[in-house]
Amino acid sequence: MSYQVLARKYRPKNFAELVGQEHVARALGNALSQNRLHHAYLFTGTRGVGKTTIARILAKCLNCETGITPEPCGICTTCQEINQGRYIDLIEIDAASNTGVDDVREVIENAQYMPTRGRYKVYLIDEVHMLSKAAFNALLKTLEEPPAHVKFLLATTDPQKIPVTVLSRCLQFSLKPMSPERIVGHLEKVLAAETVNYDTASLWELGRAANGSMRDALSLTDQAIAFGNGALREVEVRDMLGSIDRDLVFRVLDAVHGADVAEVLQVINALAEQSVDFQGALAALISALHRIALAQLLPDAIENSEGDRERILAIAQAMTPEDVQLYYQIALHGRRDLPLALSARQGFEMCLLRMLSFKPVPTQPSGSPTNRSFSAKAALAQAKVGLTPSVNPSAPSSLQAIAPRVMATIASPSIATAVTSDPVLGVSSPVQTPVAVVEPILVRETVVAETVAVPEPSVEVIKVEAEPTATATILPFKAPIATEGLWTPTMWFDWVMASSLSGMALNLAKHALLQGQLRGSAVLEVSPRYDVLAKQSYETLKTHLLQSYPQLELQLAMVEPIAETPTQIEERLLAEHKQRAEIEFLADPLVKTLIKTFDAHLIPESLIVGEKR
């Protein structure tokens, strides 16, 4: 007997052997058990996922000599003839070669005759979307009300080309593409039955190359067995397919992340020696970066569909989300620009060199906290008191370059008390600090004072009448000093804005609220809707916080914060600052003239609010 290819030899004979289409098998099995049979079925899906196979199994279920059953016996004459493709009452029509109305008219004329041997005359029309418009119109009436002994089974890879009038007359089942993981599992059973030696990595190469088609996977397996002289080995299968070594993709990522240019070029040389398609190499790199980004946000969502789950999770821990997003964007644009390069290798090299060139270099500030988000903090500090800061001409330029802090505690509607001594800051000369006091109705919260040291500790009480035109002296922006007391929303906001946090950890801190003691038990309140963010970034935030406050005992509570979070404070103060800027803009004489002359009006969204200078 001649050799039978694996795709035909291991074609499923019943629903139990069907792989990857459990939803279709369940629906058809229940319909057969309850004898709730439709007269027309439409199976859609990509090539090689089981459309024709399911149609043949359904034909056996309808005509098996044991009766209508979801489990055909497989041994009766009807089942054997259907398996062999010679059953007289199963008429298979290739719509690709029988597209005309005359071919459909022949089907309609023969449908009225009773089946020769079976219960039903089954018409299996493959690639039905290839029928002409006239052929579809001719089939409509018979498809809607066929004789009781006729069943139509339609299969197509392109259901969009089928008229809706046909679709509405059929029960439609969409077959799923096969995942590489499911293909590998099935290939293991097939190769075990064939007693073929293999390694698992070679099956993953075949599973990815099949691109969702089980028939393609079995055909490639046949080819790989012949190529490997009766055995499947990863290197040989990769050479046969011309695919990329997944390990080289991860080596590229490791080298780029480690800024190792020599290793990057070495990996590119290895890819060139394998004669791989650099377009495909870049696509594999993009796919890996996508899975890494997903693993950073939700590790449980990463399946082992590529056979590299553990490697992906390890790289996700090593890289920052910002770097992953940067690499992904560069690779995506590099793939677009690859056809413009003089050679595919040159374009691939330039893409990786861009990653190395634009990779952010982390810098640590020396001596003082980072002044990140300087412009935002300056605007917020001014919005808190509604004043334009005055700069001390004798102050160092470093002090003039940063945002002022207003240190006032509202004691009464007309009196403010300012403390002007602080031995912690270590300033060598005393600085007088006039403090502005605004009307009580404008005061939203008490602002905790940051103070300036003098040679000898002293306290000066300054009484200022409530006038809106006072000025404030510029002081360095610092995190709260670890003294006895409790955390307040303002102190937590100050620490977050002055910290060196970045990325997801900074995002978590801005949406959280720290409650409790400065030198004792404290609870970080985070809204439950940020549960995923807290799981990913809490430990990083805790590490930074304990560096500033070693005696802090921190706990995490997934509850709604009872007060404003830094994000809410920032949004509120910026909104107030923008509102004040809008009032000032509209009060400008020139603007008033323009509005009066041209009957103009201000679009608030177009007003750009920057830092006052």
More confident position, 611 or 213: 213
Does 1.10.3720.10 match the CATH number of domain 180-241?
A: no
What does the alpha-carbon distance between residue 98 and residue 154 come to, in Å, rounded to a whole number? 14
* Alpha-carbon 470 to chain mean position: 51
DSSP track, 259-311: T-HHHHHHHHHHHHHTT--HHHHHHHHHHHHHHHHHHHH-GGG--STTS-HHH
The CATH number corresponding to 6-174 among 3.90.1310.10, 3.40.50.300, 3.40.109.10, 3.30.1490.20 equals 3.40.50.300
What does the alpha-carbon distance between residue 65 and residue 530 come to, in Å, rounded to a whole number? 60
What does the alpha-carbon distance between residue 154 and residue 203 come to, in Å, rounded to a whole number? 32
What does the alpha-carbon distance between residue 538 and residue 555 come to, in Å, rounded to a whole number? 10
Strands 409-410 and 416-417: antiparallel
Query: Per-residue pLDDT averaged across 571-580, rounded?
Result: 88
What does the alpha-carbon distance between residue 87 and residue 65 come to, in Å, rounded to a whole number? 13
The CATH number corresponding to 246-358 among 3.40.640.10, 1.10.10.10, 1.20.272.10, 3.40.80.10 equals 1.20.272.10
pLDDT in tens, 548-564: 888 888 889 998 998 89
pLDDT in tens, 195-208: 999 988 889 889 88
Nearest alpha-carbon partner for 268 in 248, 287, 292: 248
What does the alpha-carbon distance between residue 89 and residue 78 come to, in Å, rounded to a whole number? 10
Average pLDDT across the chain, whole number: 78
Query: Per-residue pLDDT averaged across 493-506, rounded?
Result: 88
- Listed by start position, the domains of the chain span 6-174, 180-241, 246-358
DSSP structure class, residue 15: G
Q: Is the pLDDT of residue 519 over 80?
A: no
pLDDT in tens, 260-308: 888 888 888 888 887 778 888 888 899 889 989 988 888 887 777 566 7
Backbone angles phi, psi at 463, to 5 degrees: -100, 125
Q: Three-state DSSP class for 399? A: helix
Query: Per-residue pLDDT averaged across 572-580, rounded?
Result: 87
Q: Is the pLDDT of residue 439 over 80?
A: no
pLDDT-derived band at 1 (thresholds 50, 70, 90) equals: low
Query: Per-residue pLDDT averaged across 504-513, rounded?
Result: 90
Are 28 and 72 in contact, with CB atoms under 8 Å apart?
A: no
pLDDT-derived band at 435 (thresholds 50, 70, 90) equals: very low
Q: Is the pLDDT of residue 611 over 70?
A: no
What tokens appear for 125 in the block?
């029309």
Least confident of 9-13, 318-322, 482-486: 482-486
pLDDT score for 361: 62
Helices (H) and strands (E) in the chain, counts: 24, 12
Cα dihedral: 551, 557, 561, 563 (round 10): -20
Percent of the chain with pLDDT over 70: 78
pLDDT in tens, 236-269: 888 888 777 778 888 888 888 888 888 888 888 8
pLDDT score for 307: 65
Give the Cβ contact number of residue 586 at 10 Å.
13
pLDDT score for 536: 84
What does the alpha-carbon distance between residue 177 and residue 186 come to, in Å, rounded to a whole number? 14
Burial class (CB in 10 A: 0-12, 13-18, 19+), 98: middle
Least confident of 5-14, 277-286, 290-299, 368-377: 368-377
Nearest alpha-carbon partner for 155 in 20, 42, 54, 56: 42
Residue with tokens 């009196």: 415
pTM of the model: 0.54
Are 530 and 555 in contact, with CB atoms under 8 Å apart?
A: no
What does the alpha-carbon distance between residue 165 and residue 538 come to, in Å, rounded to a whole number? 56
End-to-end CA distance of the chain: 92
